C-alpha cells in the first residue's frame, strides 16, 4: 500500500440523495504555531438547493514572477458554510512536486475537498499572496459547476488518472468545468498554462463580480493579511471577505 502525503492521504467521494449530497473525506486540518498540525477528515452533507456563490482562489507562488500559481474554487452556501475544491498533484510521502515530474506521469491527479480554514489558510501560512475573487454566476450555474466537479471527484475515486503539467493540472481541470457552463468557452492558452495570469482572463470576460480595474480588484480581493488575523475564528470565511470600500 502506498504511503501518501498526510494532506492527500484520503480520496474524497460524493454520495447524492435527491437535493442532498454527502461528501466523504472532507479535509479540515487545523494548523497551530510552528509545525503543529491537527489532521481531521469527515463526511459533510450539503443541500444543493442552498449553494449560492462561487469564489475563485488564486495563489501566485512569487511576487516577482506572477505566472506560476495554484488556483482552486470555493462554494458558498446559504447557511454560511463554504466548501473548497482544489485540483492537485497527489504525492507520495516525502515526494516533491516539480513541473518536469508532472510531465513524466510521476503523480496522480487528485481533487482535495475541504473547508476554507484548511485549504485557503494553508496557502496564507506558506507566505503566498492569496486572492479570493467573487465570481459572477447565477445560483443554477453555481450548482451545475459544483455537481460537475463532484462527478469528477467520483470518477477519480473509481479510476485514478495521471497528473499532467500541461493538460491535466489545476487550471486545465477548472477550465473544463467552467466551460461546461460558460456561454462563451474560454480557450486554453498561455495565461491558463501560467495560472497566475488567469484572473486577468476572468476579469476581461466579466467573470469576476466587480466593476473595478484588474489592478484595483487584485488589491481589493487579496486576503492574506486579514486571514492571518482571523485564523482561529469560527467565522473565518465571513471575516476574510470583509473587503474594504464599495
Q: Looking at the domain assignment, is residue 209 inside a domain? A: yes
pLDDT band at 244 (very low <50, low <70, confident <90, very high): low
Task: Report the first-to-last Cα separation within the chain, whole angstroms.
Answer: 53
DSSP element (H, E) containing 192: helix 190-193
For the record, the C-alpha cell of 195 comes out as 495560472
**In the predicted structure, residue 199 carries a pLDDT above the cut 70:** yes
**In the predicted structure, residue 172 carries a pLDDT above the cut 70:** yes
Structural domain span for residue 219: 6-230
Helix, strand or coil for residue 211? coil
Q: Looking at the domain assignment, is residue 235 inside a domain? A: no
Helices H, strands E: what count in the chain? 9, 10
Q: In which region does residue 80 sit, left (phi positive, over 0), alpha (psi from -120 to 50) or beta (all else)? A: left
Residue keyed to cell 470600500: 245
Percent residues over pLDDT 90 in the chain: 80
Domain count, the chain: 1
Q: Looking at the domain assignment, is residue 155 inside a domain? A: yes
pLDDT in tens, 12-54: 999 999 999 999 999 999 987 666 789 999 999 999 999 999 9
Q: Looking at the domain assignment, is residue 39 inside a domain? A: yes
Q: Looking at the domain assignment, is residue 236 inside a domain? A: no
pLDDT value of residue 237 = 96
Percent residues over pLDDT 70 in the chain: 98
Q: Looking at the domain assignment, is residue 242 inside a domain? A: no
Distance CA 108, CA 60 (A): 22
| Whole-structure pTM value | 0.95
Amino acid at each position: 500500500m502506498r504511503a501518501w502525503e498526510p494532506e492527500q492521504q484520503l480520496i474524497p467521494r460524493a454520495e447524492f440523495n435527491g437535493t442532498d449530497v454527502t461528501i466523504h473525506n472532507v479535509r479540515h486540518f487545523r494548523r497551530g504555531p510552528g509545525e503543529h498540525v491537527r489532521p481531521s477528515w469527515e463526511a459533510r452533507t450539503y443541500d444543493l438547493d442552498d449553494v449560492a456563490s462561487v469564489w475563485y482562489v488564486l495563489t501566485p507562488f512569487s511576487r516577482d514572477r506572477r505566472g506560476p500559481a495554484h488556483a482552486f474554487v470555493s462554494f458558498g452556501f446559504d447557511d454560511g458554510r463554504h466548501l473548497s475544491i482544489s485540483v492537485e498533484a497527489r504525492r507520495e510521502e516525502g515526494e516533491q512536486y516539480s513541473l518536469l515530474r508532472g510531465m513524466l506521469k510521476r503523480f496522480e491527479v487528485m481533487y482535495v475537498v475541504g473547508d476554507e480554514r484548511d485549504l485557503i489558510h494553508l496557502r496564507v501560512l506558506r507566505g503566498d499572496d492569496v486572492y479570493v475573487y467573487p465570481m459572477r454566476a447565477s445560483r443554477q450555474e453555481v450548482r451545475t459547476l459544483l455537481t460537475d466537479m463532484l462527478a469528477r471527484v467520483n470518477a477519480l475515486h473509481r479510476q485514478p488518472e495521471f497528473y499532467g503539467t500541461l493538460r491535466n493540472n489545476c487550471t486545465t481541470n477548472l477550465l473544463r468545468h467552467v466551460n461546461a457552463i460558460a456561454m462563451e468557452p474560454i480557450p486554453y492558452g498561455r495565461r491558463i498554462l501560467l495560472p497566475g495570469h488567469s484572473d486577468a482572463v476572468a476579469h476581461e470576460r466579466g467573470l469576476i463580480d466587480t466593476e473595478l480595474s484588474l489592478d484595483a480588484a487584485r488589491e481589493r480581493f487579496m486576503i492574506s493579511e486579514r486571514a492571518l488575523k482571523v485564523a482561529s475564528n469560527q467565522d473565518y470565511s465571513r471575516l476574510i471577505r470583509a473587503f474594504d470600500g464599495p
